[in-house]
């Protein structure tokens, strides 16, 4: 398959690229700084631009079978504006223009899904994040809303606490208060889940929470 990746130089995005290449997919990486791709740059098509560049975004998604967005805001209490939300809106517009249907994106459990039956702790998480890093919360919620109202075949994977440990290939996926979803998850397993959704219909139109 032909897959376009946004956020390809991030901690999870780099692992998404690696998994896609290992699986033999044809990959386009949309990045601001190609040098951050390292050795992967030689194996992928690179579109170097900002998320404000509509033409470059459309070029990146043209001909793709699916798009994976590993975009996520920095953990910074001073984040201002909504560049990732605005960029996601441009990605969705480009996908419609190029008739690309499948979109897999990343968020956190601070974003609700209608299938959730949230516990007290689940309700407190977005409140705490909103107090500590309101800009990041605004971006995560904005990205998710844009994706969920896109009219595309979308999936948003929600994470709680990504950690840098080797993949253990054990994934719990479901909805808060209904399914046995935990807290920590290897970034490598997060990347694997995102890639696995490309060819799966299990969570189309849904935002599953995932963990190890």
For the whole model, what pTM was predicted? 0.94
Cα gap 72→92, rounded to integer Å: 16
Residue recorded with tokens 């209904």:
178
The domain of 81 spans 2-211
CATH number at residue 19: 3.40.50.720
Residue 123 corresponds to which tokens in the numbers above?
A: 């309700």
User: Cβ–Cβ contacts within 10 Å for residue 79, how many?
Assistant: 18
How many domains does the chain contain in total? 1
Q: How many CB atoms lie within 10 A of CB 28?
A: 21
Distance, in Å, from the CA atom of 211 to the CA atom of 39, rounded to the nearest integer, reads 29
Largest CA distance in the chain: 48
Only one residue has tokens 């690179």, namely 46
| Partners of 172 in beta bridges | 211
pLDDT by residue for the chain (212 residues), tens only, comes to: 999 999 999 999 999 999 999 999 999 999 999 989 987 878 999 999 999 999 999 999 999 999 999 999 877 777 788 999 999 999 999 999 999 999 999 999 999 999 999 887 778 777 777 677 888 889 999 999 999 999 999 999 999 999 999 999 999 999 999 999 999 999 999 999 999 999 999 999 999 999 99
CB 3 within 8 A of CB 20: yes
Question: Phi first, then psi: what are they for 186, rounded to 5°?
Answer: -60, 135
């Amino acid at each position: 398959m032909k897959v376009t990746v946004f956020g390809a130089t991030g901690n999870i995005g780099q692992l998404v690229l690696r998994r896609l290449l290992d699986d033999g997919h044809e990959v386009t990486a949309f990045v601001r700084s190609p040098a951050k791709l390292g050795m992967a740059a030689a194996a992928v098509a690179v579109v170097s631009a900002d998320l404000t560049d509509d033409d470059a975004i459309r070029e990146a998604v043209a001909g793709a079978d699916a798009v994976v967005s590993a975009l996520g805001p920095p953990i910074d209490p001073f984040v201002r504006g909504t560049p990732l939300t605005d960029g996601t809106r441009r990605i969705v517009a480009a996908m419609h223009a190029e008739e690309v249907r499948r979109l897999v994106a990343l968020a956190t459990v601070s974003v609700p899904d209608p299938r959730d039956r949230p516990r007290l702790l689940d309700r407190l998480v977005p409140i705490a994040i909103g107090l500590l890093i309101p800009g990041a919360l605004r971006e995560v919620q904005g990205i998710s809303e844009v994706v969920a109202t896109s009219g595309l075949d979308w999936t948003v994977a929600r994470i709680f606490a990504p950690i840098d440990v080797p993949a253990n290939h054990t994934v719990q996926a479901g909805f808060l208060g209904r399914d046995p979803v935990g807290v920590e998850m290897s970034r490598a397993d997060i990347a694997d889940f995102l890639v696995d959704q490309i060819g799966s219909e299990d969570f189309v139109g849904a935002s599953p929470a995932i963990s190890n």
